[in-house]
A and B are shown apart, each in its own frame.
Chain A
Amino acid sequence: SAVISQKPSRDICQRGTSLTIQCQVDSQVTMMFWYRQQPGQSLTLIATANQGSEATYESGFVIDKFPISRPNLTFSTLTVSNMSPEDSSIYLCSVEEDIFGGIPNEQFFGPGTRLTVL
């Protein structure tokens, strides 16, 4: 299975600032996903990030607030822009191993980034 790392693991930020979260995978994968887990809640999909195309955002999430980059098959970033305390969450990236290299539709998750906005 893919090994996924995220940076930073946690951060405390001031209202109105932005934070970029990095997700690195140890193998090439086509599909990467970003999720948000608000305190005590379940995971909610923010967007799907495929290399070579614009990210696809779920209802309630917009590119201006959560811009995503996917420059290659092993790396992605999620930026949380103009932060407010409501953005305090754990942000997780996940990857779906390519069908030829792994089991289709099985997602593996990074360790998450715990963000606190004051």
Chain B
Amino acid sequence: ETGVTQTPRHLVMGMTNKKSLKCEQHLGHNAMYWYKQSAKKPLELMFVYNFKEQTENNSVPSRFSPECPNSSHLFLHLHTLQPEDSALYLCASSQVTTGGSYEQYFGPGTRLTVT
């Protein structure tokens, strides 16, 4: 049990839909992350929030919009996605400390299919 939950686990949406992915961490960590995992490609970091402040936006298209209302919750709002956005979206958390190793604790992911 990782202490990071994600909902929904599976999502099918059309290109004109708007949907949101939710992540919650119960580990008391101060940083949260969104990753995209596509077949045969390395995990791609999308966004990082540290103490609710976005510290990394890895050139992600604006059709993906993150929201971090507090250190335990993270959302990824989706709109007008493309079929190539179909992937496993993973949320993770970590405890960031000076000189820390940023060990990531992942949720189970949301399998997204864009039709």
A and B bound?
no
Residues of B within 8 A of A (CB): none
Residues of A within 8 A of B (CB): none
